[in-house]
Amino acid sequence: MATTTLPIAPPQIRHQQCFIGGQWVDSVSGKTFATVNPATEEEICQVAEGDAEDVDLAVQAARNALENGPWAGMDARDRGGLMYKLADLIEQELDELAALETLDNGKPIRDARAADLPLVIDCLRYYAGYADKFHGKTIPVRGNFFTYTRREPIGVAGQIIPWNFPLLMAAWKWGPALAAGCTIVMKPAEQTPLTCLRLAQLAQDAGFPDGVINVVPGFGPTAGAAVVKHPGVDKVAFTGEYKTAQIIMRDAAETLKRLTFELGGKSPNIVFADADLEAAAAGAHFGLFFNQGQCCCAGSRLFVEESIHDKFVDKLVALSKDCKIGDPLDPETQQGPQVDKAQFDKIMEYIDLGNRQGAQCLTGGQRAGERGYFIEPTVFDAVTDDMAIATEEIFGPVMNILKFKDVDEIVDRANNTFYGLAAAVWTRDIGKAHHIARHVKAGTVWVNCYDVFDAAAPFGGFKMSGIGRELGEKALDNYLEDKTVTVALD
Ligand code: NAI
Ligand code: MG
């Protein structure tokens, strides 16, 4: 592993407390927890550890802002204006926010700058434009009545996000919620609280009234569960593991919370022999290894048509061997460390399982270096459908290659999973491409591309990959209630 000195100055840590009602406050218990730099395994700083009491204060602040504050009476267009302003402030601070994201999460600075931050800004601007465009309907009913609908904010939104794209997940959740006029209690992931806290300050600087956005850092079973159970929270949006979503659904039953889930996947990436193989290899590599493999939509079942298998695999191995792994603050670095020790250990166990269950490790398979949670880009060939590495979400830099014979067999195999988040197909045959797109059970299908995201394009899962959609116009429905008003005309 290359050792480089830090070409980017480590960013300043400015916020370590809870952000509640426009104030920076310690947790009620006074407890804190460490957030760790995954590239060095060293503590970055201590952060306030929120729990039920802190969540309760945040919910009170959010409810007050929803019902009494300037936010409640603000013209919708001005609400959008605040969102544009926030996007501008993020843009001005792009380099510093990217460095902070890299420090806390371990993702390469070049990805944070080129992908995470621009997508965050775009997402907020996209939803800002919606703030004044919630149109109800006038509805012809029987009798002499005038009936119309209003689209009102759902209320206080509880939002629980993961660590793989900390800023971007905040933007995906804040965008539609703020446009709709909701107020927010967010719990960032315990691994990566720092950029979300910075974002809260930028929102205040942009002019969002106190209490509209509240951030309570802390752990899932304590602070997270408190958000889910709180009767003052009207809706919970969660991104993370499906097993956590099962707990959240149970915890939400008591208060019948509206729920949206964006969960994991075991997405099939299907390469036909007639594809542009250079493009397909680059896309398959990117679709798996991007963000250290820590993507809900990672193309982690790579199906390759038998006739091109050998030469295609050679290309993939070459790409993996070429990948520059190391200090994520080095602008040349392509792969950083996994986010924490738990993820590192989980991935190493899957690599061990892959070897023991008879898959063939063509490259990688080891820890990289002695310090930090680095794992070599790993490629397994001769993977079969029933192996653990082909059925379970690994969430790491581990590619699994499976062979297939023809189009008749591949749809069933691609759908043989309880997940249904994404899929991709590589072919020059337009009929085959649409056949796969139609029959594969997934919320997103990419044809001759991978990981193409846009704020306007809905994203979410079939089956156990989620409930509801994020992004696009659709996501606004998650934050609105429809009210029907009927007026007697005589
Ligand atoms: P997780 O689902 O436990 O954590 C995600 C968020 O949920 C964090 O903010 C966490 O504090 C919170 N949380 C955890 N338990 C909770 C509870 N009982 N009530 C309310 N909130 C709770 O995911 P984790 O443990 O970080 O990662 C485990 C695996 O989950 C990963 O290896 C990966 O396979 C998958 N995952 C999928 C993600 C995706 O984007 N779909 C993101 C992160 C993890
Ligand atoms: Mg967990």
For residues 10-25, average pLDDT: 96
- Predicted pLDDT at 378: 98
- What is residue 7's predicted lDDT score, i.e. its pLDDT? 60
Ligand nearest to the CA of 238: 1
Is 235:158 a contact under the CB 8 Å cutoff?
Answer: yes
- 244 Cα to the center of ligand 2, angstroms: 6
Asked if 410 contacts 427 with a C-beta cutoff of 8 angstroms, the reply is: no
- For residue range 105-121, what is the model confidence (pLDDT) as tens digits? 999 999 999 999 999 99
Q: From the CA of 172, which ligand is nearest? A: 1
User: What is the Å distance from ligand 2's center to 152 Cα?
Assistant: 33
Which residues does a 6 A CB cutoff place in the pocket of ligand 1? 160-162, 164, 187, 189-190, 219-221, 224-225, 228, 239-241, 244, 247-248, 263-264, 296, 343, 346, 393, 395
**For the chain, what is the mean pLDDT?**
97
**Average of pLDDT values for 222-231?**
99
Residue 408 confidence (pLDDT) above 80: yes
Which one of 190, 262, 393, 470 is the catalytic residue?
262
Which amino acid appears at position 443 of this protein? G
Residue from 241, 349, 459 whose mutation best tests the ligand 1 pocket (most atoms within 8 A of CB) = 241
Q: What is the mean pLDDT of residues 177-188?
A: 98
DSSP codes of every residue in 275-296:
S-HHHHHHHHHHHHHGGGG--T
The predicted-structure confidence for 349-364, as pLDDT tens digits, reads as follows 999 999 999 999 999 9
Please name which ligand lies nearest the alpha carbon of 105. Answer: 1
Closest by CA position to 111, among listed 40, 172, 165: 165
Residue with tokens 């892959």: 354
The yes-or-no answer on residue 49 being catalytic is no
Length of the chain: 490
- Residue 262 among the catalytic residues: yes
Tens of pLDDT, residue by residue over 56-99, are 999 999 999 999 989 999 999 999 999 999 999 999 999 999 99
Choose the residue to mutate in 107, 160, 185, 244 for probing ligand 1, maximizing ligand atoms within 8 Å of C-beta. 244
pLDDT at 6: 54
Residue among 196, 296, 376, 470 flagged as catalytic:
296
Nearest CA to ligand 1 atom 35: 241
Q: What is the pTM of this model?
A: 0.98
Which tens digits make up the pLDDT trace of 75-84? Answer: 999 999 999 9
Sign of CA dihedral 12, 206, 471, 457: negative
2 pLDDT more than 60 = no
pLDDT value for 8? 77
Among protein residues, the one with the nearest Cα to ligand 1's atom 42 is 240
Pinpoint the alpha helices (H) of 415-488. 430-439, 474-477
Closest ligand 1 atom to residue 339 Cα is: 26
Q: Which atom of ligand 1 is nearest to the CA of 265?
A: 41
Atom of ligand 1 nearest to the CA of 396: 32
Contact status, residue 299 vs residue 284, Cβ threshold 8 Å: yes
Q: What are phi and psi of 441, to 5 degrees?
A: -95, 90
pLDDT of residue 316 exceeding 90, the answer is yes
Looking at residue 273, its pLDDT comes to 98
Who's near 145: CB < 8 A, 6+ residues apart?
486, 487, 488, 489
Looking at the chain, the whole-number percentage of residues with pLDDT higher than 90 is: 98
